[in-house]
Structure formats: C-alpha cells, structure tokens
Amino acid sequence: MNFYDQANQRIVVVEAKATADFWDSHWQAGDFVGQVKAGKNNLLVKKASSRFLPKGARVLEGGCGLGQNVFGLEAWGYDAFGIDFAQKTIAKINQHFSGLKIKAGDVRSLDFPDDFFDGYWSLGVIEHFTDHSLILVEAKRVLKKNGYLFLTFPWLNPLRKWKAKRGDYANYEAQGEKNFYEFIFSEKNIIKELESLGFSLKMKKPFDAIKGLKDEISFGHSFWQKVYQSRNFAARCFRLFFSLLFARITGHAILLVFQKI
C-alpha cells in the first residue's frame, strides 16, 4: 500500500521489509546465469557509463543484486566491482562467475579506501533504506575527485504528484520498519542532498514510463501489465516509443548523474 508523506514530499510503500533474506528469496527464481549475462544488454547503464567514464575506469556497483550490471560493465571494458548484503546470492554469483569481483558487504560502510573509484553505480538501492544518507556519504568517500555517481530510484513523477494533490494516497503515519519496502522520492530533494555533500548534477533521465503508468492507474491495468511483461519485438518497440514520449510524465524511475567536486 502507498502512503503520501507530505512533510518529506515522498511516497512510502508499505509491503514487505527489504531485508537480505527477502532479496535472496526474490533472486532465486528463473534462469540465474541467464539473468546475470543479460546485464550486458542494459543500454541505460552502458550509455551513461560510456558518456562519462573512459574504458578501463574502476567502477563499483553498490547493491549489485544478481551482479548483472557488474557483468555488463566488465564486458564493456571497465574494471568493475560489486557489493551486496544478500550473502546467499553473492555466494551463488561467486560459484557461477568466479571472475567477477563481487563480495558481500554493506553499502553504508564500504570496505574500500578513500578516493578509490572513478565511478559508482547505485541502481534502485537508496529507496529501501530509511538511513540512505549513509550510502551517499560512503559513495562520496570512495569516489575520486571528479568521479561520477550514477544514481537511480523510484521517482515522484508528475502523474504521482497529481495523484498526491488529489488525495489519492492515504496520509502517511509512521508504519514502523516492519513493513517498510521503499520510498518514491522527489528528485529535487535528492539533488539538494547531494549538492550539499559536494556533488554537481550532470544529467537527469526519467525512464520506465509504462511501469510508472501501470502502477498508478486502474483503467486498462491488465493491458499495460501485459505490454510491460512481454518480451516480443513489437512490445519492446512499443515500450521504447512510449518511453520516449512520456517518460517525463509517467517514468517510474529516474537516473541522476553527479560529479564529485
């Protein structure tokens, strides 16, 4: 269930707490090896990385999950590292992909020296932590001066803002951490927070427009769900076209790229 937190201009999603055990269970389904290898097809990560980082740059993905983006970054010529707190998943990655530099750890307390990385990818991580500022402080610490932070999170897009203004979400009252799943943030608040830490915004890109639409409407939901899940060529082309037109309105998530100054 979604609640609107007016004081902090964010949506609070209450479902199930996103613990290490939750993610270990979540990532066990499907073709594990195939899912990891599919990371080399992630055009969002590939294009943003190539725009700001030279080949051979040392890059960390904090909260790497299955490790698919670490696999992709390695395939594209970067010196990629990954860290995640889901230890069973990390053990499985190490079993099948021993060449990847992925280990268990806490993104709020990284086991890397200061000024170590040229780039840091955080893909859908900070929204699951009530103390996400610790993640951002650690990202700054391990990044070199002029290094880049690539940050994605669920976005309080114009459609969601309109729904909040209409009162479509219940008013937020502290639910406790037991059932907290994630926040949906205003990008302005995250930008302000990172600028106060000494970062400069370099790029902003909303994405995943169909998910942002299907999750917020009831009319035609089953149709949009099928389009979102389909892997046939026509559906993929439609998703791309739809996102080009409507990502700024219904994008589920947003990519922000910052440079450490």
pLDDT tens-digit map of 113-166: 999 999 999 999 999 999 899 999 999 999 999 999 999 999 999 999 999 999
115 secondary structure, DSSP code? T
Q: Supply φ then ψ for residue 188, to 5 degrees.
A: -65, -40
Place of tokens 């996102």: 243
Domain ranges of the chain: 14-156+171-209+253-260
How long, in residues, is the chain? 261
Q: 67 is written with which tokens?
A: 């490790």
pTM exceeds cut of 0.95? no
**Banded pLDDT at 24 (limits 50, 70, 90):** confident
Instruction: Report the chain's C-alpha Rg in angstroms.
Output: 18
Q: Is the pLDDT of residue 17 over 90?
A: no
pLDDT of amino acid 25: 80
More confident residue, 95 or 178: 95
At the fourth CATH level, the homologous superfamily of domain 14-156+171-209+253-260 is Vaccinia Virus protein VP39 (3.40.50.150)
Q: Is the pLDDT of residue 30 over 80?
A: no
Residue with tokens 């890109």: 205
